[in-house]
A and B are shown apart, each in its own frame.
Chain A
């Protein structure tokens, strides 16, 4: 038993840390630290920096332009990126479609699409959920009907994250309404410039715009935009969701939040002493830190197992459930630390040069509310429990 990284892993960690120190633009890390929206320009700029280094497609094998990292190296990279306040990699092309095309795509699809993901020419988004198909994704209704050399698509997708920046979308469509639910779905690529597509913003609980609805009316795309076999899209969907679960524990983000909360508790003064000296408040932080300490090791144990056995098991659902709850708790503590100073609606707090709380904290309430999404998306924590019930406990 050895909980430490190997010498080569430590060297890799030092290399990543040095690269981030030298190459992560300050304006971008400041935006991440402050909780500002990391817009299209910043995301693309950061992607380009990583792409030039060959580190953008962390999950891709070398032959497709990936760095060929082990699961532990991928973990180290993610952890260091969080520590440095790098923005999240926009996952739809890199971590979702990329691996799908590498496994199910034709040579031609791989050659034409993958380089454009690496170069940043294409920004993909995801057309999975529908208003009537959330947790029960297989009940999706968006229809794709073959018409000669084309598909004609009609329907509606929702929760399309960052679709407002995208030029392409991959969709799950029903191609055989007679077959069993899971057996009549196909995976189809769509150019968002195609006539008949309308994207509408969905405003979230804290006021931000990061998800969208996408409406399809008689949208015609080439038949060759099908990925894999017709009616076999569910297999691809499941494969993609297993990739979505990479890094799902969000340990790096929680470590970031923990440090922020500790700093905040030392900085905020309440009745003559730092909040960190309030035993009730300190207990909240300590409980979260203990949970996170265990989660770090749980995460490493599952990484180790994935590295040994070649694939992650159903236990990764534990990472999703516990990881999101820990992160949400830390966001709750951060909001709580400010008391009524967390109340102002973000964007109003610098009016008249009045600081309402310690700097970098104006978004704390907004972040808490926004992060309620993490136990809902990517397979809600209830769905993860269903997976564990069957796959881990055989009940």
Chain B
């Protein structure tokens, strides 16, 4: 048993953390996060140079990571600074491209930015009922339908789209310039787009993509959970700092036992959140991945809301302001639940196994 990071991963964690502290501080984040395209192309290039994108891809495909633990290291660091860059799309796209036997070079170099469009307004997470369809046309394919809330879609060059082809779930690559997209910044920072497909030309990557999409979704879940853990830790540390410095009734409010216990409850939830994330990361790609990722995303959804709400409440009014960073951590921790399946959706997946 060894819960230590390998030396390579520790180095990635350290260099990324240092880079973000220098180059992506809160002030910069606030400039990027709420204004389209919610993306800083220069910083994206620097992240690629730093090897962050390569860390999402295994050696066999030209990267130097690609395991669950690699994703966790990268996304925890991004979560600590609420980095709004569309890294989730890259992490999920890498797995889909590899499964399809396609190249990852442009992804690793940061020259092609990917978004992954799976869910639709009426089936955001469970893909059995998606209505986006592919039709063969002159030796190629065209897609019709609508993909809702495509995270990173506002800044992507290529969107990987799940669509029904002859009744099966298939995966296509669409050039963003060929599709109609409506981009918007999001409540919790970062951007997304509605991707509207109307006989839009697309390249077939996989005719039977069900397993690959599940795997990519699991990878995305590991990434989101790790991002949440990073954001939660900063949120707790900031809250504890505030408890130590904010004085009311002549003492630091951290002297009040009722607040002490609530801070300890936050700590406990975060330790649990970290554990379930480690578990999901370890199982990624294996036979227990679906179950572990469902459990992780459920727990992160619960813990994220609790940490967000308690941090705001214990701060009081100051954390209700745009100017104070905790308000943005709170929004991210709450809204992250809506990505790749919310806490109820994943609870029902865990429950479904009992009847089987």
Contact = CB atoms under 8 A, between A and B. Distances in A.
Contacts of A369: 187, 327, 330-331, 334
A368 B187 CA distance: 11
Contacts of B247: 132
Nearest to B344: A280
A341 B126 contact: no
Interface in A333-352: 335-336, 338-346, 348-349, 351-352
Contacts of A339: 124-125, 149, 338, 342
Contacts of B347: 280
A352 B180 CA distance: 10
Contacts of A376: 312-313, 316-317, 320
Contacts of A195: none
Contacts of A335: 334
B335 interface: yes
B60 interface: no
Contacts of A346: 187
Interface string B309-329: 100110011011111000100
A127 to B, nearest CB: 15
B186 A345 contact: yes
A139 interface: yes
Contacts of B121: 341, 356-357
B321 A204 contact: yes
A116 to B, nearest CB: 30
B122 A269 contact: yes
B15 interface: no
B184 A348 contact: yes
A377 B122 CA distance: 37
A285 B135 CA distance: 41
Contact of A340 (B119, B128, B323, B327): B119
A155 interface: no
Contact of A280 (B149, B188, B348): B348
B59 interface: no
Nearest to B181: A352
Given A336-B342, A340-B339, A369-B187, A345 B125 contact: no
Given A205-B327, A339-B338, A382 B320 contact: no
Contact of B331 (A205, A336, A348): A205
A317 interface: no
B184 A345 contact: yes
A159 B320 CA distance: 10
A22 B188 CA distance: 41
A292 to B, nearest CB: 19
B177 interface: no
Given A269-B122, A341-B149, A134 B339 contact: no
B276 to A, nearest CB: 19
Given A339-B124, A340-B148, A351 B322 contact: no
A343 B331 CA distance: 10
Given A134-B248, A205-B330, A372-B312, A341 B348 contact: no
A372 B327 CA distance: 11
A137 B102 CA distance: 64
B316 A349 contact: no
A381 B320 CA distance: 15
A382 B182 CA distance: 44
Contacts of B106: none
A135 B335 contact: no
A336 B125 CA distance: 13
Interface stretch (A11-19, A94-102, A227-235, A270-278): A270-278
B322 A365 contact: no
A377 B187 CA distance: 23
Residue among B185, B196, B248 facing the most chain A CB atoms (10 A cut-off): B248
Interface string A121-155: 00000000100101110010000000000000000
Contacts of A1: none
A347 B11 CA distance: 42
Contacts of B259: 382
B182 A372 contact: no
Contacts of A158: 317
Contacts of A373: 317, 320
Contacts of A202: 321-323
Interface string B339-355: 10010100110000000
Nearest to A381: B313
A343 B34 CA distance: 12
Given A341-B149, A372-B320, A351 B182 contact: yes
B258 A382 contact: yes
Nearest to A364: B187
B46 interface: no
Contact of B184 (A132, A204, A344, A357): A344
A5 interface: no
Interface in B256-270: 258-259
A61 interface: no
B187 A366 contact: yes
Given A205-B327, A376-B313, A340 B129 contact: no
Nearest to B36: A348
B192 interface: yes
B335 A159 contact: no
Nearest to B348: A280
Nearest to B149: A340
12 contacts: A135-B316, A136-B248, A280-B348, A332-B305, A336-B342, A339-B125, A342-B338, A348-B184, A366-B187, A369-B334, A372-B330, A375-B313
Please provide the 8 A-B residue pairs with the shortest distance between their CB atoms, ordered closest to farther.
A340-B149, A136-B248, A203-B322, A348-B184, A205-B327, A280-B344, A343-B186, A340-B338
Given A269-B122, A354-B196, 8 more contacts: A135-B316, A202-B323, A339-B125, A340-B338, A344-B187, A348-B184, A369-B330, A372-B330
